[in-house]
Amino acid sequence: MTLPDAPWRHRRGLDTLVTALGAGGARFVGGAVRDTLLGKDVHDIDIATPLTPQDVIDRLDAVRIKTVPTGIAHGTVTAVLPDGPVEITTLRRDVSTDGRRAIVAFSDDWREDAARRDFTVNALYADPASGEIFDYFGGLDDLSAGRVRFIGDPAERIAEDHLRILRFFRFHARFGTGAPDETGLAACESRAKDLMALSRERIADELAKLLALPDPVPTVRQMQARGIFLPVLPEIDAEAVGRLASLVTLESEAGIAPEAQRRLIALLPPEPRAADGVATRLRSSKALRKRIATAVTADGAGPAEILYRWGLGPALDRLLLSPAPIEEVMQEIRLIEEMERPVLPIGGGALVARGLKAGPLVAQALHAVERRWIDEGFPDAARVDAIADEVVAASLAG
């Protein structure tokens, strides 16, 4: 089998780069090969080479291709091309691993390099000139069958890098058909506690990649049923998966693109303090934590008020995560999507001009004006002026 032609193979400077590495000095590897065989778009290009990192740098410098030693200790040099970077990594073998990081030695053995990769579908190489595919572990058959399978003993692969547990499920959700490979699934289940050794940032990043896929629900449901989340995210129970399933259905009905952060919120406890506790554990940003709080706080605010206070994204969060009937939710989504975000057409200065003394009383009166404006459905400036007159009169009388 040969690698089909694809737009990424014609990126500016790529032929020059490959020629500089010499005959037999480069093979495309991993996602670019896998996704091209599947007819999917390719964004990242990776090249494997038996050359040492310094040799790669010297050869590319000779043809005026800029390089950056992005992962020099692990043999990776990034070539900067006009249409995007290309990562070039020296063939490797693992010397030692602890589940989080590996110490590697450089190699000139292509099969040895393939053996240290995670899944057979990620260990496919292609010759840049001829397109010939090199498949050492049955990756082509697995790709054709929609099967995500560990290279070698799954338990050993997981022991080398615990994150492979989550990657197994993400890759199945993206490329798999039918049930996951049972041997791999059993290994992930038996070693789920290994996830406790990983940083929460790595777990959150991998979970986000899974949740961003078109329909992660069947995979997330299987992960929950098999106890994968229990060691690190026990809050993701069957009820949480149900909320995610409802959200995905609503997104599809409303024509709203999948978004990992909103889907994560669906998996969190629908109570502000508990949800924030999980978000904090995952080292979430302040912006995400605020978004979570807005989505799960039961303050009685309607969709239009949420649009006014926080914008379209949070308003959609609140609606899409609502337990209200789907017909009602869909109607309100259409309503706010057609609305412009309201702007209160009055400020504290206008209240001072009406006779209030600057200070806390003005803030209280402005809040009262705002509240009535919201409750009346965001009327125009003339009505707000009338409301302001009434509020100021009441304040002065009091």
Q: Write down the pLDDT at residue 248.
A: 96
Q: What is the pLDDT of residue 98?
A: 67
User: Quick one: average pLDDT of 378-387?
Assistant: 96
pLDDT at 103: 79
Question: Does 45 reside within a domain?
Answer: yes
245-259 residues labelled b (16+ CB within 10 A) or e (exposed): bbbbebbeebebebb
**110 in Cβ contact with 134 (< 8 Å):** yes
Burial status of residue 376 (CB atoms within 10 A of its CB: 0-12, 13-18, 19 or more)? exposed
Question: Using CA atoms, how far apart are residues 95 and 76, in angstroms rounded to an integer?
Answer: 17
Q: What mean pLDDT is reported for the chain?
A: 94
What would you report as the CA-atom Rg of the chain, rounded to the nearest whole angstrom? 28
- What does the pLDDT look like over 68-83, one tens digit per residue? 999 888 899 999 999 9
Q: Let me know if residue 325 belongs to a domain.
A: no
Domain hosting residue 105, numbered range: 1-145
Domain boundary among 145, 170, 205: 145
Q: Is residue 24 part of a domain?
A: yes
Residue 95 lies inside a defined structural domain of this protein: yes
Q: What is the pLDDT of residue 99?
A: 63
**Overall average pLDDT of the 37-49 stretch:** 97
- Tokens standing for residue 395: 């304040």
Q: What is the mean pLDDT of residues 278-303?
A: 91
Mean pLDDT value of segment 163-188: 97
Long-range contacts of 127-135 (CB under 8 A, 24+ apart): 127/27, 128/9, 128/18, 128/26, 128/27, 128/28, 129/18, 129/23, 130/2, 131/2, 131/3, 131/4, 132/2, 132/3, 133/1, 133/2, 133/3, 133/33, 133/37, 134/27, 134/110
pLDDT in tens, 343-364: 999 999 999 999 999 999 999 9
> Parallel, antiparallel, or unpaired: how do β-strands 45-49 and 84-90 relate?
parallel
Please state, in angstroms and rounded to a whole number, the distance separating the CA atoms of residues 240 and 246.
Answer: 10
Residues 61-72 have a mean pLDDT of 95
* CA–CA distance, 167 with 331 (Å, rounded to integer): 38
**pLDDT recorded at residue 61:** 98
| pLDDT tens-digit map of 239-273 | 999 999 999 999 999 999 999 999 999 999 999 99
Q: Which of 120, 145, 170 is the endpoint of a domain? A: 145
What's the DSSP call for residue 108? Answer: S
In a domain, residue 162? The reply is: no
- Count how many domains the chain has: 2
301 — pLDDT class (breaks 50, 70, 90): confident
Instruction: Give a yes or no: residue 390 inside a domain.
Output: yes
Residue range 91-122, pLDDT digits in tens: 998 776 766 677 788 999 999 999 999 999 99
Q: Is 52 among the domain residues? A: yes
Query: Residue 313: inside a domain, yes or no?
Result: no
Query: What is the domain-level CATH number for residue 50?
Result: 3.30.460.10
Among the candidates 116, 145, 174, a domain finishes at 145
Instruction: Say whether pLDDT at 296 is over 80.
Output: yes
